[in-house]
Amino acid sequence: MFGRSIFDEDDWNLFGRNHPLKVFRANQALLEQNPKVFRIDEGKRIKTLAKGYTLKKGTAFAKKYAGDPTKKVYRITEKRECFTLEKQDESFKLIYEIIDGNYGHIIVCHNRRSNGWRLIRHMKVVGKILFNHYGLKSVFLRAGIPENDLETNIPKDKRMQKIVYETPSGEDTRTRQFLLWLTVCERAVPEDALERGADSDRLVWLTPHVPLEDDQKQILNSYLPKWHRWHF
């Protein structure tokens, strides 16, 4: 087993920014970035998976990096199959994709009516589709504001305001938007609680169909606000 590197950080700096190891690390970091969706073609309507909602099958266009980290990486455009679930009379629209048949990704969600209980109801429907119909293990989502935001004209937008709150494991700080998704998506947890180095605005929504041991529940609950509306 090897202990601490024989090189200090300053020693690495002596090699210069073009040293092969630094180039490899920089390229590898680019390759590990999540694809960034920049355009969505919603496509045509297909058979709905939930009564009262419409469903479309379309294409998401995303930018990502490809190549060899030891040589060169470059940006490419990737086409990804996506689905749009919508309830027009309640101004709710959610676009998601299925990854490798086991995981999901919520690309964007618009909920123009500021009613938390209605959003909870919508997300329960989404959860049944993703976990019951597709049988997914987990779903990833990001607590950010989309570029084509439908809420840009709301007064005093506080979605990105930082909130400090208490958890069983200590104090945490997230945005209001993050806490919203943590609250309305039952069994969602901060991704950085499960994976070191994950972005602080990302969440993982876990399937309800995999039973958890008591110690696992205790650990997951330790990352939720003490006042949370649900627990594992």
> Model confidence over 92-111: pLDDT tens digits?
999 999 999 999 999 999 88
Nearest residue to 187 (alpha-carbon basis) of 144, 225, 221: 221
Interval 63-93: pLDDT, tens: 888 888 888 888 889 999 999 999 978 789 9
For the entire predicted model, the pTM comes to 0.81
Nearest residue to 97 (alpha-carbon basis) of 52, 143, 62: 62
Interval 1-10: pLDDT, tens: 444 444 455 5
pLDDT of the residue at 6: 45
Displacement of CA 121 from its chain's centroid (Å): 20
